[in-house]
Chain A
Amino acid sequence: MKKVWMVLLAVLGLAGLALAQTTVRVGVLLPISTVAGKAALNGVQLGVDQVNAGGKVKIELVVVDDGNTPATAVPALTKLMTVDRVDIVIGGLASGVTFALSGPVKQYQPLFLCIGAASSVVEQAFSDYNRFFHYHPWDYHNVAAALEFFKYLYDSGARRVAILYEDGPFGSAGIQTYRQQLERQGYTVQAEPFKSGSGSFTAILTRLKGFRPDILYWIGYDVDALPIAAQARQVGLEPKLIYGAPPAWPTGFEKNKLSNDIAGMTAWLPSVANNESRRFVNLYRRKFGEVTDEYMAPMGYVIALSLGKALEAAGSTDKDRVAAELAKVQMDTPFGPLSFKPSDTGRTRYQGFNQSIWLQFQYLEGSRRPVFPPSRSARPLRFPGNY
């Protein structure tokens, strides 16, 4: 009889737990066929696993592909809103896509947890929308972080910067600002546009050779990384530093000898030494059998964890109550501390990270190593590099 009572109590206890558990369906809208999108999705799933394992909140993901284009993203969001009827959406990786989503998001009014979209144009587009939580730094944060590095390079003797920028919105939008800021630091700048994916850089690089740049700074996409690295050598450009700013780097690039000494900027690397980062790396390796260099993975993880905290605190799936709790979240993350404040321009109410999360890395012996700022560097920057 005693056993029967114990079993009954256990069943009632479990039933009580189940009743207390808050279950919510969350839409995930990412370009899942891209390196960054796939990494972001893995990160979100990892975070959701952790939240669900806590037992107080249960998140169910409804994943849709935004195709990395507005034409696919807008119908995908509409499906999440009208068919899947979710109230919370994690997504918005590319700026152009997120800008296109601003209208439909305002129409359907979800709680929108934005993972990327650094462009100030997006900040402007969501300026009157108070259910918009932007985790990623804005472009002016990115510029500030890069310029801090360029100041360091100037102090190390660099004087001339050749900028190669792709002539689409990604590369050309802030080029005048970059140029002015670098000139203000004392640099002489020559900037040249190029067609991303064309693979033909020898002519432009030959032209830049006459400028004798100390730094070759290229703003383009992953497809341009190897051709620029190879063709700079082929025309004998020989800068002191090749610095790239693509959204993602090519798969296998780190194993290519031409990547050695090339520098770039990222928000996170697996070698970042803080407890949350180490914990994330271990969890990621356990679940996916590998470690990623893509910072969108921990960004997705952080979003899922912070949402879990807010849901738990709200004790409800009501999006406004969740938003109110999310606004109060303070947590340690692989990037450092996270809390929401108004953006620097004051346009949006909830901005997560700023320029402090950016670090400069250099490809050294087959992997990316943090080299700047000195407080976060694992190795000294090789300057001049050997190209």
Chain B
Amino acid sequence: MELLLQTLINGILAAGIYALVASGLALAVGVVGIVNFAHGEFTMIGAFVAYLLFVSTGLDPFLSLGLAALVLFLVGAITYLGLIQPVLAAPELNQMLLTFGLSVALQNIALLVFGADTRVVSTSYQGATLSLGSLSFGVPPLLAFGLSVGILGALYGFLDRTRLGLAVRAVAQNRLAPGLLGIETQQVYLLAFGLSAALAGVAGVMLSVMLYASPTVGFAYTLKAFAIIVMAGLGNLRGVVPAAVILAMAEALVSTYVPGGGGWVEAVFFLVIFVALTWRSWRAA
């Protein structure tokens, strides 16, 4: 029983960061309508912003969250204006090739600038735990989970309760009508893509604390984010958190209870996507 409870805790805590990365991707897909393969590289930039601030000023990565979000919002906005906007009317395949190319370019720029070294920051709480009876909670994943819940809560609040948020949702639901009602669609796209990148950047900061900063740090999380948004239904922001929980739980249960399960994590990931897509097609039929 104790093992099961600890496994569930492990799954829930992992789901926080999964949800954060996936929410940004869901925002780009749902609002702008673009599948951004460079989302993981935005996460990587966030990790490097935190790392560079840590080594140059000693700033705790959690304190650099705001700056990283701002930097990534600007990166997202520039990317949107320079690359995404011109191809919005192009076929989806072209859009995907563009973001895939951006992903490769950003990774290689990072390789040129930082090399392939794995870099780690050092904080006093990286190995810290909180105990509840025999159960333990790692402080960094708990912080990341709390922060993810807070940020996603704020995002949902923004989308539900502000005029700008309602405009974003309107554009996500219908690309033509909001324009006819006077909503500046392009500005909404710009805002949504910038927010998407900012969320990736915040997730990157958390990864710099929990894992490392390197040109490839975002890759694994992008794959998980894709699985989550497929499970949630492309562009469905509400479904992201439950989908992240399902994926993280499935991974944790398999790793804990299946002998050699740690090597099956990718299989779990594909199985979850397969089941989600099959179930959705079955419901639609």
Chain A interface residues toward B at CB < 8 A: 31, 33-35, 38, 68, 164, 167, 192-195, 197-204, 206-207, 210, 221-223, 225-227, 229-231, 233-236, 250-253, 255-258
Contacts and interface: CB of A to CB of B under 8 A. Distances in A.
Nearest to B262: A194
10 contacts: A35-B117, A192-B261, A200-B255, A201-B262, A202-B14, A206-B3, A207-B255, A227-B210, A251-B118, A258-B126
Interface of B: 3, 6-7, 10-11, 13-14, 55, 111, 115-122, 124, 126-129, 131, 136-141, 207, 210-212, 214, 216-217, 219-220, 251-257, 260-263, 265-266
Contact of B207 (A199, A202, A251): A199
Contacts of A236: 129, 131, 136
B180 to A, nearest CB: 46
A380 to B, nearest CB: 24
B124 A203 contact: no
A12 to B, nearest CB: 48
A44 to B, nearest CB: 17
B129 A233 contact: yes
A290 B34 CA distance: 46
Shortest 7 CB-CB contacts between residues of A and residues of B? A234-B138, A203-B255, A193-B263, A233-B127, A194-B262, A256-B122, A250-B118
B263 A203 contact: no
A225 B93 CA distance: 38
Given A34-B117, A207-B255, A233-B128, 12 more contacts: A31-B116, A33-B111, A35-B116, A195-B265, A199-B220, A203-B261, A204-B262, A206-B6, A206-B10, A223-B212, A223-B214, A252-B119
B60 to A, nearest CB: 14
Contact of B256 (A195, A203, A231): A203
Q: Which of B13, B122, B217 has the most CB atoms of chain A within a 10 A radius of its CB?
A: B122
Contacts of B260: 192-193
Nearest to A193: B263
A199 B10 contact: no
B120 A250 contact: yes
B83 to A, nearest CB: 26
B5 to A, nearest CB: 10
Contacts of A231: 138
Nearest to B266: A195
A10 B140 CA distance: 71
Nearest to B139: A234
Nearest to A221: B118
B207 A194 contact: no
Contacts of A68: 116
A250 B11 CA distance: 26
Given A230-B126, A233-B129, A204 B116 contact: no
Contacts of B211: 199, 223, 226-227
Contact of B119 (A195, A197, A199, A250): A250
A192 B14 CA distance: 20
Contacts of B253: 203
B115 A202 contact: no
A241 to B, nearest CB: 16
Contact of A197 (B10, B136, B216, B254): B216
A18 B71 CA distance: 57
B138 A202 contact: yes
